[in-house]
Amino acid sequence: MFTGIFKDTSVRILITFMIVLCILSSFVLPDWMQNNFMYGLSRGLAILGLMLLWRTNLVSFGHALYYGFGAYAVALCQKYFGITDILLRFAIAVIAAGILGFCLGFILRKYREIFFAMLSLAFSMVLYGLLAKAEFLGSTDGMSISPSTLFGMELTRQYLFYLITFFVICAAISIQAYLRSTLGHLTTAIQDNEIRVEYLGYSVQKAIHIKYVMSACLAGGAGGLMAASLGQVDPDSMVNWNVSGELVFITIMSGWGNILAPFIGAIIFEFIRTYAFEWAPQAWAAIVGGTLLTIIFFFPGGIWSVIEKVFNYGKKKDVK
C-alpha cells in the first residue's frame, strides 16, 4: 500500500509545503500567525476526513461529534489520569473517536444523502446535549487543558508546531496511500454507481464503513490537537451543530482535488476569521457567510480548483 508513496507528486508537494511552513514559523512568522497556522493545520485534519466522505457524496453535518469527542477525551485523560504527553494525547483522541466511529458506522453506513446528514447531526447533538448540561464536565464553560509535554519535558509552542506538522504529514500520507489503493479507488466508483460496485463483488457498505472510521479518526485527532493548542475545550465551540456546519463549509471552500487542499483551506479560513474579527467584530460571521456564498456561486470547485487553474495555465489540458 505504501510502496512508492514518496514518489507521488501530491505527497512531495505536501511535504515541501509543510517544511516551508516549519522554516517560516521558526524564523519569520509572528506569534499570532504561527497560532493561526497551528489551528488551521489541526482543523485541516478534520477537513481531510470530511473530504474523504464528500468524495462518496456523503456529507456529515455532525462531524463535530468526533472533533469534540477527541477533544474531550484529551481533557478527561488529563483530569483522571494526568496524561499530558502530546503523543499520547493525539493517540487517545484518534483511538477514542475511531472506536465511536466504528460503532456508529454500523448504523450510518446504510444511510445516504440527507438522511446520512440528519442522522449524523442527531448523534452529534446527543453528545452536545450531554456535555452542555453535565456539571462534572464543566457544562457550557468546558474544561481547561494544561500545556502539553513530550516524554516528561515541557513543550514550547515552537515544538508543538513542529509536532503538529509531523502528525499532519503522517495522516495525509496515509490517506494518500489509501486513496491510491483499490479500496480508495472504490470511493469514486461508489459515487458514480453503487449497484455496479456491488456487482463487481465489493461490499459498498463495508467500503463506506472503513472510510467513515478513517474520517472519524481524523476528526478526533483534529479535536485532540485543537484542544492541546487552544488549551481549552467547551461544547459550544467544539460540539454544537454550527461547528459541524463550519467544518463542512471549510471542506467546500477547500475543494476535494488534493490531500493538501484541506490544510490550505483550513489555514485560509483561520485567517479570514482573524481578520474579519479584527476589522469588523460585529460582522465576522456575516463575512464568513458571505465567503461561503461566494464560493458556492463562483468557485464550486473550491480554492484548490483555483490553484490548479493557476498552475496549469498554458499547459495542455487533460482529456477527461
Partner 1 sequence: MQFWATVLLDGLTYASYLFIVSLGLTIIFGVMKILNVAHGSFYAWGAYTAAFAIGFITDNDLSEALFLPAILISAILVGVVLGYIIERFILRKMYNQDIHLIVLATFGVFLIFEDLIIITFGVDPYLPYQPAMMLGWIDIVGLNRGVYQLTLILLASIVAFVCWYGLTKTKWGKLLQSVIYDREISVAMGIDVTKVYVVTFIGGAILGALGGAYVAPTTSVSPGFAIDLVVLSFAVVVIGGMGSIPGALIGSLIVGILRAFAVHQAPILELFVVFAVMAIVLIIRPEGLFAPPKPRKI
Residue in 76, 83, 292, 307 binding partner 1, rule: CB under 8 A: 292
133 forms part of the interface with partner 1 (CB under 8 A) = yes
CB 288, min distance to partner 1, A = 6
121 forms part of the interface with partner 1 (CB under 8 A) = yes
* CB atoms closer than 10 angstroms to residue 155: 19
User: By rule CB under 8 A, what string of x and - marks binding of each residue 78-117 to partner 1?
Assistant: -----------------------------x---x-xxx-x
254 forms part of the interface with partner 1 (CB under 8 A) = no
Contact 244, 91 (CB under 8 A): no
Between residues 1 and 285, which has the closer beta carbon with respect to partner 1?
285
For cell 516524554, the residue is 151
Residue in 14, 75, 248, 259 binding partner 1, rule: CB under 8 A: 248
Residue in 181, 283, 306, 312 binding partner 1, rule: CB under 8 A: 283
Between residues 231 and 289, which has the closer beta carbon with respect to partner 1?
289
Between residues 170 and 296, which has the closer beta carbon with respect to partner 1?
296
CB 121, min distance to partner 1, A = 7
Contact 70, 145 (CB under 8 A): no
Residue 69 half-sphere exposure toward CB, CA atoms < 13 A: 26
Q: Measuring CA to CA, which residue among 127, 124, 144, 143 is closest to residue 135?
A: 143
For cell 483555483, the residue is 306
Q: How far apart are CA 259 and CA 150, in angstroms?
A: 28
Q: How far apart are CA 163 and CA 30, in angstroms?
A: 18
Burial profile 20-37: b = 16 or more Cβ within 10 angstroms, e = fewer: ebbeebeeebeeeebbbb
50 forms part of the interface with partner 1 (CB under 8 A) = no
Binding site for partner 1 (CB under 8 A): 57, 59, 61, 107, 111, 113-115, 117-119, 121-123, 125-126, 128-130, 132-135, 240-242, 245, 248-249, 252, 282-286, 288-293, 296-297, 300
